Structure 1
Amino acid sequence: MRKTFTGPLFGCIVCIMGILLYSCKKQDEFLDTKPNQALKTPATLADLRGLLQNESVFNSQPDPGLGEIASDDFMIQDAIFPTLSSTDRNAFTWAQVVFDAATIQNSDWNSPYQIVYYANVVLDALPAIVPAANEKQAYDQVKASALFYRAWAFYGLLQTFAMPYDKRTAADQPGIILRLNSDLNTHPPRSSIAACYARVISDLKTALPALPLSPALKTSPSQAAVNALLARISLGMADYSSALNYADACLVQFDTLTDYNTLTKPTTTTLSSTYLSEDIYHSNMVGHVVYSVRRDSYISPDLYQSYDINDLRRSKFFAILDGLPQFPRFVGSYDIKGQKYDGLATDEIYLIKAECQARTGDANGAMSSLNTLLRMRWKTGTFVPYTAVSADDALLQVLRERQKELLLRGLRWTDLRRLNLESRFAITLKKTVNGGSFVLPPNDPKYAFPLPDIEVKLGGATQNPR
């Protein structure tokens, strides 16, 4: 029998209302208030389409960033560390307590659930709308878009507030709260990890056929985006056959790669003043200062030195500021404003394909996929194709390039979580801050962040162990 885990979504409700919770006595007042007057009366297909075109809700810093902070993608200068928020300091050092008990607005939890709410408003309103014959395609696309956005938000929450997917335990471990309607008075329990992944995958498969093949707008869903997200999810579940199929399906629909030789960096924080041609679906992580201030966070010098001198990522991704080569700064965001991009792009899909090929014994195929990507990253005329002596050798090369290519894209935390389940790839993370040493062993319970305190104290949600 599938297990469920009790606990209402109180913190999400607080966020959705857009009102700070100063006292638990305000609860009933908040439950009677909608977050936006426009959400009270969505009566037409145009109304619903308008709700889904709100980029500030769906694309601009809505995705959890705590995992990026906790990963090994970057380090923090000792002098700046005490000036960070308590949440950022605690996440970076894997502290027992992450959130200040007085904090009631947690963007890593609230912003994804705001996406869920908007999507559910649309999905709940659609049955009351009878589309005209010439509106049927638009009707189906609105529904599919809402399902995509909700699945996107659920998946981001799963990477942050639940342990990694392991088919041996997924049915017995708590996942997240699956809110499947817009009624804020309902309090669904935490579902199992298995049930959560099943819901996300089901919603994406339902959405797939009604969406355009390739992205009309980088901020809108498409069939290519659905297949890319399913490839990402399947890889995290160690379902390599499915991940390969979805990656191939995505590349049939959209296989554009950006030639880094054509990029002229417009600023010191971003790769381009326009969306990159390889961007499939554009979204950004919550704007934590710890990884947003480029002069304060830096990349491991060893990682920096691993980029070949002819590898354009070395110059496009990094800057040596103030004459301090020991502190290489990441300045290679895919976002035109320099926010931390965690969307879907073709480079990731080639890496997924290459990893799955290596894991299924196809070393030559893996190297071909990897080389297709890397030749677009090297100075023209300098790239020498990679080769592998075995499938295992190919896999190791792909994983190394994955970390280098997808740096500060919000994916390293998921990679650490999934690779820790394989003893040959499991690593112990270590950080030193102001003389203090911090350690995160493989598969530690701290690979799932605690739910915000308000969820436990006022909502009754089951807390994650730490």
Structure 2
Amino acid sequence: MIKKIIYPFLYITLLFSFVACKKDFLEVVPLGNQVATTTDDYDKLMNNPVFYMNEASGGQEAVSMGDETGAEAAFLNRGTVWMPRLFQWADSIYKPGDEIPYPFMLREGLENMYLLNKIITEVMASSGGSDTQKKQLLGEAKATRAWLNLLFVNYYAKPYNAATAATDPGFPIIDKADITVQRFDRGSVQSSYDFIIKDLTDALADVPVHPRIVTRMSKPAVAGLLGKVYVFMGRYADALPLLDNAFAAIAANGAPVLYNYNVEFAPGGAFLPIDPTFGPQGPGVNRNDTREAILSKVYYNGPNRGNMFGTDGLVLMPAVAALYGPHDQRLLLYTNRDLDGNLNPGGRLRKYGITWSRYGLQLPELYLLRAECRARTNDLGGAITDLETLRRNRMPAADAQVPPAVAGNQVALIKYIIDERIREFAQEGYRWFDMRRLSVDPIFSGKAITRNLYNTNGTTTVITLRQPDRLVMKIPPYFLQNNPGMPDNP
């Protein structure tokens, strides 16, 4: 059934100040006129910070919904109204009457979609550039549009399940730069993923091998992201050659490279000194650190400072803290002190070494994605090689070896790799997306998803996610009101 859908925020994109653009390019342009004419103009548009910083990166809400975190009620409840709702997996996160009744990620993502569609539609007719330059920009815009659609479908549609994807409601496909009323339907999860795959496949042929700026798309980024999409779909054999291609392109570039935490936390290392309040001096405190970035997208992930979201009160669940070995250098990113500086009464750990989280495509994730695909296609030796490559850069070599009982068992190794994803990315938003995809995986499905809220009186409230409904966020009422007939999620 065809529905009307109106996006009231899209016109705001026309007013953004774009990085490195000429003065006349920043002036308000009458509706319907182009905001860019030359290939160089469109190139500058792709440098817009909205594509790679803060809410556009899509991780802030996910941080609060990952089951690897518990929360201290004394600090969680002192922040914004949205944080407790997200933490409790509430049915409704954004409500009429809220100060801000919509998620920034969705609002900014839709604004960005307008800009990307404008580039996609117009760049090939732009003046002053070669066909190769124009095709590169077209590919970058398509790949960035695919990134946004991957976020949308993983917040507002069911996890991909091959048996039901053709009928599960997806997210509307927006492929025109038009702020007037358009006719859309939600389509299906399958059609959403098909569109994402087509954009990335088209882009792969034309994006550069080496990005001029690591915030922009390149062959290793697009190949890696397409591989990640196939992982989300459970198509591991299809993902593997793409992940291999991404590694090959990285080898040709000579970058990025892994940090060796054993070196950087040793005397004289770059991550020292460790400040008792703000933690180590690692990449998590410098949003411009791109050493491990294949595609750099960052968002603020520290305590709430008047922002919509923050990490106030979030702590590791005890079972997650137990996943780390005693010599794992990643433990130095955590403190047992609460935000007020006092020791946590339960000894629980808070991640204070990350103020800016990376959420594009990072080299550590590429290793873990390929390790998982190798394990799932029964290349256990290859999976172990990838896994131990990362682990040797996070802990002493003697601790990095995969336990023999795990190494020889396919299912045990897959579970160990998923645990490694938690160890590497805890409290940075990755777990929410893994929870979703693993909920339809026979190895992991059927298990209750819970987390703990530690109350000020010393008691603990166990919060259970209502599956499958709350593995999908409801569409905010603000958007439903402005889009009559748009069907919501249960």
The reply to whether TM is greater than 0.5 is yes
1:430 aligned onto 2:427? no
Residue 88 and residue 358 in structure 1: after superposition, are their counterparts in 2 closer, same or farther (change >3 A)?
same
Answer yes or no: is the 8 Å Cα contact 1:247–1:349 preserved in 2: yes
1:396 aligned onto 2:415? yes
Residue of structure 1 in register with 2:260 after alignment: 259
Distance in 1 separating the partners of 2:233 and 2:162? 8
C-alpha root-mean-square deviation of aligned residues, in Å? 2.8
SS in 1 for 2:326: coil
**How many residues align structurally?**
441
1:409 aligned onto 2:428? yes
Of residues 354, 359, 370 in structure 1, which corresponds to 2:371?
354
Answer yes or no: is the 8 Å Cα contact 1:9–1:177 preserved in 2: no
Residue 382 and residue 80 in structure 1: after superposition, are their counterparts in 2 closer, same or farther (change >3 A)?
closer
CA shift, 1:253, in A, is: 1.1
SS in 2 for 1:377: coil
- Write out per-residue CA displacement over residues 250-309 of structure 1, whole angstroms, 9 at most, x where no aligned residue: 111115322223432365276224524221111134769679655632112332232112
Unaligned runs of 5+ in 2: 17-24, 252-256, 265-269, 273-277
Residue of structure 1 in register with 2:20 after alignment: none
Of residues 459, 470, 483 in structure 2, which corresponds to 1:446?
470
Residue 237 and residue 186 in structure 1: after superposition, are their counterparts in 2 closer, same or farther (change >3 A)?
same
Of residues 298, 310, 314 in structure 1, which corresponds to 2:315?
298
Answer yes or no: is the 8 Å Cα contact 1:164–1:418 preserved in 2: yes
Of residues 41, 49, 62 in structure 1, which corresponds to 2:43?
49
Answer yes or no: is the 8 Å Cα contact 2:335–2:352 preserved in 1: yes
TM-score, structure 2 normalization = 0.82
1:94 aligned onto 2:95? no
Distance in 2 separating the partners of 1:75 and 1:35? 45
Question: In the TM superposition, what are the counterparts of 1:4-403 in structure 2 within 5 Å?
Answer: 6-10=3-7, 12-13=9-10, 16=13, 37=28, 40-64=34-58, 65-102=60-97, 103-131=100-128, 135-187=130-182, 188-254=184-250, 256-263=257-264, 264-265=270-271, 268=279, 271-272=282-283, 273=286, 274-285=288-299, 293=310, 296-315=313-332, 317-321=333-337, 322-324=342-344, 326-333=347-354, 338-379=355-396, 383-387=400-404, 388-403=407-422
Distance in 2 separating the partners of 1:407 and 1:7? 39
Distance in 2 separating the partners of 1:421 and 1:402? 18
- Write out per-residue CA displacement over residues 297-336 of structure 1, whole angstroms, 9 at most, x where no aligned residue: 2112332232112221111x21232333723111343xxx
CA shift, 1:154, in A, is: 0.9
Residue 318 and residue 276 in structure 1: after superposition, are their counterparts in 2 closer, same or farther (change >3 A)?
farther
Residue of structure 2 in register with 1:29 after alignment: none
Unaligned runs of 5+ in 1: 20-33
Distance in 2 separating the partners of 1:208 and 1:139? 14
- Write out per-residue CA displacement over residues 15-62 of structure 1, whole angstroms, 9 at most, x where no aligned residue: 65789xxxxxxxxxxxxxx99736843111111111111114443331
Instruction: Report the residue type matching 2:296 in the other structure.
Output: H
Distance in 1 separating the partners of 2:398 and 2:380? 25
Residue 352 and residue 425 in structure 1: after superposition, are their counterparts in 2 closer, same or farther (change >3 A)?
same
Answer yes or no: is the 8 Å Cα contact 2:37–2:127 preserved in 1: no
Residue 97 and residue 377 in structure 1: after superposition, are their counterparts in 2 closer, same or farther (change >3 A)?
same
Distance in 1 separating the partners of 2:11 and 2:291? 38
TM-score, structure 1 normalization = 0.86
SS in 2 for 1:277: coil
Residue 171 and residue 153 in structure 1: after superposition, are their counterparts in 2 closer, same or farther (change >3 A)?
same
Residue 287 and residue 456 in structure 1: after superposition, are their counterparts in 2 closer, same or farther (change >3 A)?
farther
Distance in 2 separating the partners of 1:9 and 1:151? 21
Distance in 2 separating the partners of 1:437 and 1:15? 42
- Write out per-residue CA displacement over residues 211-236 of structure 1, whole angstroms, 9 at most, x where no aligned residue: 12133322111111001111111101
1:419 aligned onto 2:438? yes
SS in 1 for 2:245: helix
CA shift, 1:176, in A, is: 1.0
Answer yes or no: is the 8 Å Cα contact 1:450–1:463 preserved in 2: no
Instruction: Report the residue type matching 1:201 in the other structure.
Output: I
Distance in 2 separating the partners of 1:169 and 1:36? 48
Residue 69 and residue 437 in structure 1: after superposition, are their counterparts in 2 closer, same or farther (change >3 A)?
same
Identical aligned residues as a percent: 21
- Write out per-residue CA displacement over residues 138-165 of structure 1, whole angstroms, 9 at most, x where no aligned residue: 2111111111111111111111111111
Residue of structure 2 in register with 1:455 after alignment: 479
Distance in 1 separating the partners of 2:91 and 2:326? 41
Distance in 1 separating the partners of 2:15 and 2:158? 29
Residue 189 and residue 383 in structure 1: after superposition, are their counterparts in 2 closer, same or farther (change >3 A)?
closer
Answer yes or no: is the 8 Å Cα contact 1:52–1:118 preserved in 2: no
